[in-house]
Structure 1
Amino acid sequence: MARRPQPWYRKSRRAWYVTVDGVQHHLGSDKPAAYELYYKLMGQPKKLKVASLSLADIADKYLRSLVYGKSPEATYQWYKGRLRDFISRHLELQAADLKPYQVQEWADENPNHAKATKRNKIRSVKRCLCWTVEQGYLDRNPIASLSAPSAEPKDQIISPEQFEQLIDLAPDQNLVSLLRIVWETGCRPQECLMVTADHVDLANSRWVFRPPEAKGNAMPRIVYLTDTARTITEEQMAQFSAGPLFRNSQAKPWNKDSVGCACDRIRVRLGKEMLEKEGFQPSRQEIEDMASSLADYRMSKGKRIQKTIAELNCEAKRKFIQRRARLLVPSFSLYTLRHTWATNALKRGVDALTVAILMGHKDPSTLARVYQHLSHNPEHLLLQACRASGCNIPSKLH
């Protein structure tokens, strides 16, 4: 076992020194001050040379820290997928050689990716490197100057009429219950996916998540239930006394992917209904163009089977109509319902602090940033201006 380095006095220079990892550190001429500096130096985490630390090493260390820190599984997977995708392109790259343009090119490689996707790519790598510097593994962050695109404003809301239309197209009651619980409470999508009977406090009509389970791990998260939400919760508890309350038709817990697919199917159904009302039918040329982009074979029991022309055309027509249907209906998700809940609450006069608490925001200023689209609603602001001034509300706002 290596000996712990100790300070020593050099008479020729009348100063104290200590040698750590082959490097001499000048501690000063005053012994008490020198030892204080020595203890501070030895208490710092050992720094690895930047040149000897690869990007793969950094990613592994950061992902392990998420596991040891008991971060939610969704958080771990969020970083894992993005970091592995980036590292796979730079397996031999050392941290000292990383340049901002390499991260930027990776984020911009797919022109079809949304602005939010590019933003999240850059954020994942930057956060990993910031953590490495915080822990003392690196002296500097080589991409500190790289800025991520600003978040896109969340301005899509769903009217009550549109929501009921979506509910009518839901394939079963399991999905209806999931959509309604978010519509009624404004809870985070991950909260309704993870809630169990143990989280339910029926006496106070609420769900209670302990700090380790809540976003930020700092304080409990409480979701208050309306009468409709309470009824849905009781119905789910009667079915599933253990494990997640909300499940699909196969009694399997919902996850973000299955919910996303279910919402997309509703979107396609609604789009198809609109196309049918218009009497739309794809032309022969459109079907042929779509067919040319499809694989001309299908797999059956591990064998490739050539598709017939009729099969190709049938598949092409179906996919062309699906694509056209998606163009007619904006995409929506559970987060869209949460966003709609917050927007409606603010419009109904609930103060921003209360809305922030009900939504579980740690910082109420988040509302000002995320829901600034209300500034483009002249009727809403006119109503608030009248209330602030104590004057009569214009008749057109009644």
Structure 2
Amino acid sequence: MARTASPWFWEERNGWYVTKDGQRHFLGGHPPDSPPPRKSKGKWNAPDSIRQRFHTLMAAPPPEKAPQSLHSSGGLTLAVLFEKCLDWCQKHRSARTYEGYVGHIQAFCDHLKTAAQMPALDLKPFHIIEWLDAHTTWGPTYRRNAITAIQRAFNWAEELGHITTNPIRKMKKPAAKRREHFITPADWEVIRNHYPEGDPFRELLEFAWESGCRPQEARHIETRHVHLDRGVIAIPPEESKGRKKWRVIRLEGRAAEIAAKRLPRATDKLFVNADGKPWTPYAMNCRFCRLQKTLGVKHFAYAFRHGFANRLLVSGADHLTVAELLGHADGTMLARVYQHLDSSDAHLRKALRRAGGSGDSEVPKS
């Protein structure tokens, strides 16, 4: 007896799908205000909005198949093109790259309700512009990354012969803008006090604040990476950024305490949410959006790493030491990204006085 089609949740992509006529169809991302996805007695608790799309899709007649010679993409729909690209990316690219593409592509499909039926070659730049304009809080860098994800899928499809031309190849992208925001000690005190002690998100942020690790590193730390006896988290080259050398995150103080606390009860990932699921970029961004509603300030995960570097530089640590702790190959990135110190004048004057042998005497004010 054939199995009845019903919506199912794909955890890795944080989205709802259904299989119809042997083809997987994307129904949409999980609404952040809905209960967490759960499977009970063989069925998923799909939200109402997902079930509406499911019923609409199942009631729709099958699309007419155009002759291959008359349809240059062979009947490839937009959703299928994205699925093929993401499947390939998951196998051949880093987890960080894959997650970045998944987030943007699923958000675009959520906006473009006809993605499951639209022929891939019918996509036009204005479809993407309308999607971007619907999100007024997205900055130029985020918009650039979103366009890049969609264009990359079409470039890939053209390279492999799934389509004969790329309809969005010439679409222009805004210039990236460097994020100069960093978490100060005062910011951190407010953020930390917003969450109760033991909250999974608070512990994730606290670890980032104390260790200076990259957000993707914190999310992907596994139990096998943790070496409490040596006081380090060691990520092998093939799993680290750049894939050239070991990434060593040194554990001291509160960071060591958090790692020691979480390790005994962790089965795979060291940091998971209240449901025991690994953190995703989408889930973390949702938490920061909620935090913004309370505090009135939009923070982001990388700002904790920037704050870590800022604290070390202001304390007098040399740039090569800070670069090593951050996992940089040399001090070039440090000089380029963290040259905007909030207290740079006092910091530089203090170094200048030390070099001149004048100690820490005050500089006369004009």
Q: TM-score, normalised by structure 2?
A: 0.62
Q: Name the structure 2 match of 1:360.
A: 327
Q: Name the structure 2 match of 1:52.
A: 72
2:148 to 100, 123, 144: 123
Matched residues in 2 for 1:252 and 1:105: separation?
Answer: 33
SS of the residue corresponding to residue 123 of structure 1 reads helix
Asked if 1 retains the 8 angstrom alpha-carbon contact of 2:103 and 2:282, the reply is no
Q: Which stretches of structure 1, 4 residues or longer, exceed 6 Å deviation after superposition?
A: 136-140
**For 1:84-123, what aligned pairs fall within 5 Å after superposition?**
84-85=109-110, 92=118, 95=121, 100=125, 102-123=127-148
The alpha-carbon deviation at position 199 of structure 1 amounts to 0.9
Q: Name the structure 2 match of 1:207.
A: 233
The alpha-carbon deviation at position 344 of structure 1 amounts to 1.8
The alpha-carbon deviation at position 385 of structure 1 amounts to 5.8
SS of the residue corresponding to residue 156 of structure 1 reads coil
SS of the residue corresponding to residue 89 of structure 2 reads helix
| 1:167 corresponds to 2:192 | yes
Asked if 1 retains the 8 angstrom alpha-carbon contact of 2:158 and 2:165, the reply is yes
Higher-Rg structure is 1
**For 1:168-183, what aligned pairs fall within 5 Å after superposition?**
168-175=193-200, 176-183=202-209
Tell me the amino acid that sits aligned with residue 255 of structure 2. Answer: A
Matched residues in 2 for 1:374 and 1:133: separation?
Answer: 44
CA gap 1:79/1:364 in 2 versus in 1, 3 angstroms:
farther
SS of the residue corresponding to residue 229 of structure 2 reads helix
Q: Which moved more, 1:177-186 or 1:151-160?
A: 151-160
Larger helix proportion, structure 1 or 2? 1
Q: Name the structure 2 match of 1:62.
A: 85
Matched residues in 1 for 2:339 and 2:251: separation?
Answer: 26
Asked if 1 retains the 8 angstrom alpha-carbon contact of 2:211 and 2:250, the reply is yes
| 1:247-287 deviations in Å (ceiling 9; x for gaps) | 4556555444555555566x47xxxxxxxxxxxxxxxxxxx
The alpha-carbon deviation at position 185 of structure 1 amounts to 0.3
Q: Name the structure 2 match of 1:228.
A: 254
The alpha-carbon deviation at position 187 of structure 1 amounts to 1.1
The alpha-carbon deviation at position 380 of structure 1 amounts to 3.5
Asked if 1 retains the 8 angstrom alpha-carbon contact of 2:183 and 2:306, the reply is no
| 1:88-125 deviations in Å (ceiling 9; x for gaps) | 56754554x76555544442344344434422221212
Tell me the amino acid that sits aligned with residue 129 of structure 1. Answer: F
Asked if 1 retains the 8 angstrom alpha-carbon contact of 2:85 and 2:157, the reply is yes
1:243 to 260, 265, 268: 268
Matched residues in 1 for 2:261 and 2:227: separation?
Answer: 14
CA gap 1:385/1:52 in 2 versus in 1, 3 angstroms:
farther
Asked if 2 retains the 8 angstrom alpha-carbon contact of 1:59 and 1:83, the reply is no
Q: Name the structure 2 match of 1:21.
A: none
Asked if 2 retains the 8 angstrom alpha-carbon contact of 1:194 and 1:244, the reply is yes
| 1:343 corresponds to 2:310 | yes
Matched residues in 2 for 1:252 and 1:219: separation?
Answer: 28
Matched residues in 2 for 1:203 and 1:372: separation?
Answer: 36
Asked if 1 retains the 8 angstrom alpha-carbon contact of 2:324 and 2:330, the reply is no
CA gap 1:139/1:148 in 2 versus in 1, 3 angstroms:
same
Runs of 5+ unmatched residues, structure 1 = 1-47, 269-322
Q: Which moved more, 1:221-230 or 1:366-375?
A: 366-375
Q: Name the structure 2 match of 1:380.
A: 347
The alpha-carbon deviation at position 205 of structure 1 amounts to 1.4
Matched residues in 1 for 2:144 and 2:204: separation?
Answer: 29
| 1:395 corresponds to 2:364 | no
Runs of 5+ unmatched residues, structure 2 = 1-67
SS of the residue corresponding to residue 173 of structure 1 reads coil
| 1:175-218 deviations in Å (ceiling 9; x for gaps) | 44333211110112232233232111223311112344333445
CA gap 1:147/1:258 in 2 versus in 1, 3 angstroms:
closer
Tell me the amino acid that sits aligned with residue 151 of structure 1. Answer: A
Quote the RMSD (CA, aligned, Å).
Answer: 4.1
Matched residues in 2 for 1:145 and 1:385: separation?
Answer: 50
Tell me the amino acid that sits aligned with residue 322 of structure 2. Answer: V
Q: Name the structure 1 match of 2:8.
A: none
SS of the residue corresponding to residue 109 of structure 2 reads helix
The alpha-carbon deviation at position 356 of structure 1 amounts to 3.5
Matched residues in 2 for 1:59 and 1:262: separation?
Answer: 27
CA gap 1:217/1:162 in 2 versus in 1, 3 angstroms:
same
Q: Name the structure 1 match of 2:182.
A: 157
Q: Name the structure 2 match of 1:77.
A: 102
| 1:371 corresponds to 2:338 | yes
Matched residues in 2 for 1:241 and 1:94: separation?
Answer: 42
CA gap 1:135/1:162 in 2 versus in 1, 3 angstroms:
same
Matched residues in 2 for 1:168 and 1:94: separation?
Answer: 48
Q: Which moved more, 1:111-120 or 1:338-347?
A: 111-120
Asked if 2 retains the 8 angstrom alpha-carbon contact of 1:172 and 1:249, the reply is no
Matched residues in 1 for 2:168 and 2:343: separation?
Answer: 36
| 1:55-90 deviations in Å (ceiling 9; x for gaps) | 726434322211221642634522541453577567
SS of the residue corresponding to residue 65 of structure 1 reads helix
